[in-house]
Every structure is written in structure tokens, then in C-alpha cells.
Amino acid sequence: MLFTTDAVVAGIHVDSSLMSASDMGWKALTTAVSDIGAMGGTPAHAVVTLCAPPGTDVDGLAEGIGEAAARWRCPVVGGDLTGASQLVISVSITGTIEGEAPAVLRTGARPGDSILVTGPLGRSAAGLRLLAGGPGPRSGDDRTRADLVLAYRRPQARLDEGRAARAGGATAMMDVSDGLGLDLHRLAEASGVGIVLDTVPAAVGATEAEALGGGEDYELLIAVGDVDALAARFASRGLRPPIRIGACTADPSELRWGPDPLPRSGYQHQL
Amino acid sequence: MLFTTDAVVAGIHVDSSLMSASDMGWKALTTAVSDIGAMGGTPAHAVVTLCAPPGTDVDGLAEGIGEAAARWRCPVVGGDLTGASQLVISVSITGTIEGEAPAVLRTGARPGDSILVTGPLGRSAAGLRLLAGGPGPRSGDDRTRADLVLAYRRPQARLDEGRAARAGGATAMMDVSDGLGLDLHRLAEASGVGIVLDTVPAAVGATEAEALGGGEDYELLIAVGDVDALAARFASRGLRPPIRIGACTADPSELRWGPDPLPRSGYQHQL
């Protein structure tokens, strides 16, 4: 059995002036579901703790939580509602995993493994920039704009991709939640390997900085020995091909982006 | 499988000027464990979300969480740490239940059932009063004072009592978390029965108001048809005898304390 928890805090993870209560509810449940997906599992049940200041649109939050629970087939079976000065939505999820093999953690990457992501990055950060009144997408396309905004407001959990990666031999996996630069450092540290990043795949309308440090895309970061076997597994399930972005090395102190040091770009929680 | 969640919010459930970080950690895990106990179950695993403002004593919190996890045999298997403007500790717990019979919920009380509690009430509220510099315990006894303060800082989960109550035929159960008056109303509403309260068992050093409305004692509130069978079950397991405080009636609108209306005394979360 898998068991994971995640919190969304207003003003940190979400800006209530840029998204509706129902979007916040969606995001809270989906980011927790994403943690199960990043282990190669399938979500089973959720419990939700809502710490809400006076005047919070609890109905709207519940609506978005319910929509995400239906989308990811992860019913909410319990919860707790309490007052607070700041909105916090904490979601815990149980999950199951197919067959006998263990869940994929971030600790198993080996020197020589390739590093892949399940899609181009920076969409959520670009969507936030557009919502905050920043410069528009380079493509100037309304559909691109809508896609980026949706990526920020209604992120998706890569459950099919996570299961395919586990079945296809992934040695380590995590979701890109805080930013590719930072999350690559975490994967390398957890696995005791170095990483050389060759390319940063930015989504249409997103800048390279957004792709490297934006986070909140919830694409999966995958380490795997046999890239072709993994790609074949994705193809046989009708999934978008994963994108190879780099490789693991034997020296844990080696964290490079091409010839340069790999920055820890991403959201660092301050305590 | 059981699955439950609970949150402790600084300034609402705990006052960080009156208890240490380690006490707060203990309380957060223990109150979630108590929810499993109140269904007659046994805790299995916990995940913890910590939303913490800058300067939070995270080590102290972790110490108390770890002490409670060891005490209740409920290892913490995952967590999430994030910044926030207010300290929120959210704990989710999975649990197991013995045998085939379902968990005891708050919905099963029947007219004619007796209502019992597992111990005298008001200890936590009295402890808080003493810590806040209020008048001392009526007994004037240092040991009483220490016991009340400990009840506030280090509440206990009634796991043995919950399992004994389920085995002994409890029809409905919950823990007294927000206050006896309020929690009796909730039990009655969930079960569709009335309740006539005969007596409010105040702990030594606690006032009747504290026993009725203080909450946070985490004693179990039990409805049962055969009181003698339940008491025998408690006795055979070496547990303190439960205290009979009232009975369920057939009229859901009847909520009395002796001849008077039963007040909804307790902590009502404002939204």
C-alpha cells in the first residue's frame, strides 16, 4: 500500500486572486494524487483537512476537490474542517501498486541511467505570469494562452505515465513540483548519483527560466537504464513519448547543465 | 481499512505560549490516533503535513510527533513540509480493525441505548486555565495540578477502551474533542436519536462548565444497549469502568440535561 500527503497553502502554492476556490480544491487533490502517480501507483482513497479563514468559499473548494476526486477515481472518505488565519488544504491519499515489484522511489537512479520527463515544462509558471498581467506568450496564440492558464489552474496527474514508467523499468521517479533544477538536485542526492542535464524542454509559450525553475507542472521525472524499452512501453499504451533530458553519472558532486553548474532553480520553502 | 485525518492549528487548538513544540507535535499525532481509537480500531501508519511560519521549532515538533508515534505504535511513513503564516500540523492515519464486524461510527445509536464516557471530563480545559494563570484546582493539590496540565499538553488516545467498546457491543462511538455538550448533539444528530443527559462527570480540579464544554479530553463517548456486557468487557481487559451519563430516546428533537435543554457547549469552529 502507498500512503502520501501534500498541502496547498494560499499565498504560497496558490494565489486566490488568480484562481477560483474550485481551482484550488482541484489543485490540492491533484498534487497529492500526483505523488502516488510518481511512484507508479494508483490512488485509492483521500482524506482532506481544510483549515480556512472566515469567509472562505468552502463550497467552491469542495466542488473542485470533488471534481478532481472523480477525475482521478480517488473518493474522499473523510475530512476535518477547522478555522485558521490562512487557507491550508492538506490532502492525504492511499494508493495501490500492481504486482509484486516495489514502488518506484527517488532513491534508485544508477550511474549511466538516462533522465527523462513526461512533457515540456514551464506551463504552470507561464500561466501564472499571464494571469498576473505579465507579457503574453511568444506565440501570441489564444489557445496557447488558455492552455498555459489551465496548466496553472487545473494541473494534471500523470498516472498512466507513472504506471508505464514503473512497468518499463524506471529506477527512480518523482514529479516536478518545485522546479526542474531543484528537483534534479533532490533526485541526485537521494540516489547518490551525479546528473548532467543536456536540455531543458520548455513548453510553447514558456521561457527557459520558467521551464527550469517554475515547478508545479507535475510532469514526471524518470531515471531509467533502457530508454528504448521505456519508450516502447509508453508507445504501446498510447502515451506521449517521454523526453530525454540528461543522464546520471557516478560522481554525486557532479551536477551540470551542459558545461555549467546546474542551478537549484525552483521554489525553496523557507522556514 | 480505516483512514482518518485531523489538524492542529496554532492559536486555535494549541497555544504555543503554553506548550512546547514537542507537546504540539504529540497532540497533533495523538488526536488523529484518537479518531481511529473511537472507531474501535488500531492505528497502522501516519503521514504528517507541516505548514510552518519562519522560526518554527521544527525539530521540537518532530520530537513530539515521534514520541507519540512510538507510544501509539503508529510510525510516520511520509510527510510534507511547507511555509505558511500560521502553524498547522495535519496528520492522516490509516488503521486496521479486528475481525469481520464493521468499525463503530457515530451513526448507530438506538433509542434505549445507554450513553457512557471512558473517564471524567474537563481535565484539558482545567489544565489550560491553570497554565493561563487562572484560579487553581479546588483540591489545591500539586499532583492534581500536574495531572491537569499534562492532560492539556499530552492527551492520551483511548485505544484499548475503543477496542473493548467495539468488542462489547457499542452501537455508536466518538471521542470528546470539541466538548461534551456539542459532541452529544452531533452523536444524536448522526444517529437520529434524542439524548437525555443525567450527569456530567467532572474530573477532580475541573469545573462542571469545563467538563461540559471544554473538550480536548479525547475520552470516548459510547452508546451501547447492554451496559453490563460492556462493563464486563472493560473489566476483563483491566480497563477503568466506563461512566454511564445518560440514555438515547426515540425523539430526535429531545436533547435534555435533566429537565433542561442540553446546551451545545464546546468549541465551534467559525468559518
Write the pLDDT tens digit of every residue in B57-109: 999 999 999 999 999 999 999 998 988 889 999 999 999 999 988 999 999 99
State whether A83 and B58 contact (CB < 8 Å): no
Q: pLDDT value at position A96?
A: 96
State whether B83 and A5 contact (CB < 8 Å): no
Q: Which residues pair with B78 in a beta bridge?
A: B47
As given in the structure block, the three cell numbers for residue B79 are 510527510
On the question of pLDDT at A24 being above 60, the answer is yes
Residues 6+ apart with CB under 8 A from B164: B230, B233, B234, B237, B239
Which of B3, B45, B51 comes nearest A47 by C-beta? B3
- Helix, strand or coil for residue B118? coil
Q: For A8, name the nearest residue in chain B, comparing CA atoms only.
A: B82
Q: Please, which pLDDT band fits residue A271 given cuts at 50, 70 and 90? A: low
Q: Please, which pLDDT band fits residue A157 given cuts at 50, 70 and 90? A: very high
Mean of the per-residue pLDDT values of chain B: 94
- Beta strand ranges found along chain A (DSSP E): 2-9, 42-52, 76-83, 88-96, 114-117, 170-175, 194-197, 220-224, 243-249, 255-257, 260-261
On the question of pLDDT at A270 being above 70, the answer is no
Residues 6+ apart with CB under 8 A from B18: B128, B131, B132, B152
Residues of chain B found within 8 Å of residue A5, distances taken between Cβ atoms? 47-49, 78-80, 90, 92
What residues in chain B have their Cβ under 8 A from chain A's Cβ atoms? 1, 3-7, 9, 11-13, 45, 47-49, 51-52, 54-56, 58, 77-86, 88, 90, 92, 94, 269-271
CB atoms within 10 A of CB A186: 15
Q: Dihedrals φ, ψ of B48, to 5°?
A: -130, 130
State whether A271 and B3 contact (CB < 8 Å): no
Q: Compute the nearest-CA separation of B219 from chain A (Å).
A: 19
Residues 6+ apart with CB under 8 A from A84: A51, A52, A53, B9, B12, B86, B88
Q: For A52, name the nearest residue in chain B, comparing CA atoms only.
A: B271
Which of B1, B11, B83 comes nearest A12 by C-beta? B83
Residues 6+ apart with CB under 8 A from B267: B178, B179, B182, B213, B215
Q: Compute the nearest-CA separation of A219 from chain B (Å).
A: 19
Residue B2 near residue B39, CB atoms below 8 Å? yes
Residues of chain B found within 8 Å of residue A81, distances taken between Cβ atoms? 269, 271
Q: Dihedrals φ, ψ of A242, to 5°?
A: -70, 160
Report the complex ipTM.
0.76
Q: Which residues pair with A78 in a beta bridge?
A: A47
Mean of the per-residue pLDDT values of chain A: 94
Output DSSP code: residue A95: E
Q: For A45, name the nearest residue in chain B, comparing CA atoms only.
A: B3
Q: For A14, name the nearest residue in chain B, comparing CA atoms only.
A: B84
Q: Residues B153-168: pLDDT tens digits?
A: 999 999 999 999 999 9
> How far is Cα B130 from Cα B122, in angstroms, rounded to an integer?
12
Residues of chain B found within 8 Å of residue A270, distances taken between Cβ atoms? 54, 83
As given in the structure block, the three cell numbers for residue B270 are 467559525
